[in-house]
A and B are shown apart, each in its own frame.
Chain A
């Protein structure tokens, strides 16, 4: 019997290796190809698409920085993702504290409305949002990008934060109330302090999502100096661009910041998506 189990296992071990290696290779090969091709001139890419660069050069990157408005869009991306992530997780935690520790009847309704937002996609509101922003005068402004980023981050963040704050012992809060602390003080001194694990998860999910977001910046801004990295890359290195070297450099620039983050914090990123995306 032990022999039989062992045989079954060998088959599965082999299958595992084959599948996992195939899946890893179809990530490694394209990404490696993209990176080393970005150091090749156009002519060499045409003649020897797969060969490593014979004389690696930074030319493509120089061109990308010169024509692609890369620095401005990089800073925009950082601004949009950073500010919106900070605001989302702060507002979400505050709302989560209210919803899970105040035991008011209305809380269920508010919570239900927030979680409904998980199913609403940007498509369903983009036309009215465009009209509203034009009317109010925040179309093509950074605020006009930040507000929807925050709003679309809220449902998932509130879901995560509520389930976390719910687990904080009531005794902790009651003791502070008896000591005469106000609820806002409790929020800043206790809830905010003990919630760092869930804040980290929320920050990762929101930052990554907003960094790679395309449609809202694309439709709610028009000026070149308002663009985020994905939109800038698409417009100067998009489908119709014929300078392959430049295009590869642009793609690497678009990938690098998140790649570095992933390299440094992959365990938290994977944990964030795994446990964050689907809490029951």
Chain B
């Protein structure tokens, strides 16, 4: 075999990955952007319509509801999963409990289950023959109780949010636990010797030490929240009515049911812009917080 030059070896190693990546991820992003200004009828592109797809989407009450539902998912992720994840990680890290490995094993288990299975399982739990319903019947003594509250406009998102909290908190727990183990134990011991309270340790030592990880986790949580599809699709498919619609579902509807690729692409672009905006916002908050600690 003739020896490749250094430069040729470099590209032989790099390009296979790079070409697949560009073809499947970067190129389609630009194509999405272009498509978002086009009109489609019966599987055919019929013309360039400027920003009309965007104005139609933003004027659509279903889309606005979807966006609000995505924001709720984001809030439960950033303000629910992450703080709970920190708390659980800290409790496990301090080794106050026996069998911490068992707890870790059990709490992390949902991460290995597919969202479709989780969605269908929790639907059963809230169904008339589910654990939750049976439990409420036993407590209240009302044998005919069925869960109706989640059919209302106001509370329809609650089951989805609860399941998301259950499904992903453990991911952050495990991430924070791995990073807590990098903080030298002597720091905790010194603080305890000085008579510091546990809450002081959490707020003055743990959170500042983890601030980088908290920031990256928030970024992941935001981009994850804006893409949620599987769980919502399998659990409610956006219903009842359209109370639990999310942006990805709206996108799916336009691209794959109506074959309106222009509108579908415009939704993609809105999701990307929203994601970039929210992440910059978190970056700003993070920079402010860091200034305060220094």
Report whether A16 and B256 are in contact in the complex, using a CB–CB cutoff of 8 Å. no
Given known contacts A131-B261, A182-B4, A19 and B114 CB-to-CB distance under 8 angstroms = no
Nearest CB on A from B164, distance (A): 13
Report whether B103 and A128 are in contact in the complex, using a CB–CB cutoff of 8 Å. no
Report whether B25 and A117 are in contact in the complex, using a CB–CB cutoff of 8 Å. yes
Interface residues of A in 250-280 (CB under 8 A from B): 251, 254-255, 258-259, 261-262, 266, 269-271, 273-275, 277-278, 280
Q: Which residues of B contact A259 (CB under 8 A)?
A: 109, 112-113
Nearest CB on B from A87, distance (A): 9
Q: Does B287 contact A (CB under 8 A)?
A: no
Q: Does A29 contact B (CB under 8 A)?
A: yes
Q: Which residues of B contact A266 (CB under 8 A)?
A: 105, 108
Interface size on B, residues (CB 8 A): 106
Which one, B58-66, B142-150, B151-159, B170-178, is touching chain A? B170-178
Q: Does B275 contact A (CB under 8 A)?
A: yes
Contact with A along B272-284 (1 / 0, CB 8 A): 1001100100000
Q: Which residues of A contact B103 (CB under 8 A)?
A: 20, 23-24
Report whether B129 and A45 are in contact in the complex, using a CB–CB cutoff of 8 Å. yes
Q: Which residues of A contact B195 (CB under 8 A)?
A: 1, 4-5
Q: Does A72 contact B (CB under 8 A)?
A: no
- Most A CB contacts (10 A, CB to CB) among B28, B31, B129, B195 go to B28
Given known contacts A120-B25, A151-B23, A278-B217, A234 and B116 CB-to-CB distance under 8 angstroms = yes
Q: Does A27 contact B (CB under 8 A)?
A: yes
Q: Which residues of A contact B23 (CB under 8 A)?
A: 147, 151
Report whether A27 and B106 are in contact in the complex, using a CB–CB cutoff of 8 Å. yes
Nearest CB on B from A119, distance (A): 5
Q: Which residues of B contact A58 (CB under 8 A)?
A: none
Nearest CB on B from A265, distance (A): 10
Report whether B109 and A262 are in contact in the complex, using a CB–CB cutoff of 8 Å. yes
Given known contacts A117-B21, A117-B25, A124-B29, A183 and B116 CB-to-CB distance under 8 angstroms = no
Nearest CB on A from B171, distance (A): 6
- Most B CB contacts (10 A, CB to CB) among A33, A95, A154, A274 go to A274
- Most A CB contacts (10 A, CB to CB) among B114, B123, B271 go to B114
Interface residues of B in 105-135 (CB under 8 A from A): 105-117, 120-125, 129-131, 133-134
Nearest CB on B from A168, distance (A): 15
Q: Which residues of B contact A12 (CB under 8 A)?
A: 91, 94, 96, 198
Q: Does A184 contact B (CB under 8 A)?
A: yes
Q: Which residues of A contact B187 (CB under 8 A)?
A: none
Contact with A along B191-217 (1 / 0, CB 8 A): 010010110000000000000110011
Q: Does B13 contact A (CB under 8 A)?
A: yes
Please, how many angstroms separate the alpha-carbon atoms of A165 and B248 in the complex? 37
Q: Does A17 contact B (CB under 8 A)?
A: yes
Q: Does A71 contact B (CB under 8 A)?
A: no
Report whether B115 and A20 are in contact in the complex, using a CB–CB cutoff of 8 Å. no
Interface size on A, residues (CB 8 A): 100
Report whether B131 and A29 are in contact in the complex, using a CB–CB cutoff of 8 Å. yes
Report whether B124 and A244 are in contact in the complex, using a CB–CB cutoff of 8 Å. yes
Please, how many angstroms separate the alpha-carbon atoms of A113 and B18 in the complex? 9
Q: Does A202 contact B (CB under 8 A)?
A: no
Q: Does B12 contact A (CB under 8 A)?
A: yes
Please, how many angstroms separate the alpha-carbon atoms of A50 and B87 in the complex? 32
Of B14, B114, B120, the residue contacting A212 (CB under 8 A) is B114
Report whether A49 and B227 are in contact in the complex, using a CB–CB cutoff of 8 Å. no
Residue of B at shortest CB range from A251? Answer: B117
Q: Does B3 contact A (CB under 8 A)?
A: yes
Report whether B117 and A274 are in contact in the complex, using a CB–CB cutoff of 8 Å. no
Q: Which residues of A contact B252 (CB under 8 A)?
A: 219
Nearest CB on A from B109, distance (A): 5
Q: Which residues of A contact B248 (CB under 8 A)?
A: 123, 215
Given known contacts A49-B131, A113-B26, A237 and B120 CB-to-CB distance under 8 angstroms = yes
Report whether A19 and B87 are in contact in the complex, using a CB–CB cutoff of 8 Å. yes
Instruction: Write 9 A-B pairs (CB below 8 A) sorted by A numbering.
Output: A28-B106, A123-B248, A124-B28, A127-B255, A147-B20, A151-B21, A231-B116, A233-B120, A262-B109
Known contacts A124-B32, A183-B10, then 19 further A-B pairs from the complex at CB < 8 Å, ordered by chain A residue? A49-B129, A91-B20, A119-B279, A125-B32, A126-B255, A127-B32, A129-B28, A131-B35, A151-B25, A182-B3, A187-B13, A234-B120, A238-B234, A251-B117, A258-B114, A261-B112, A269-B108, A270-B108, A273-B111
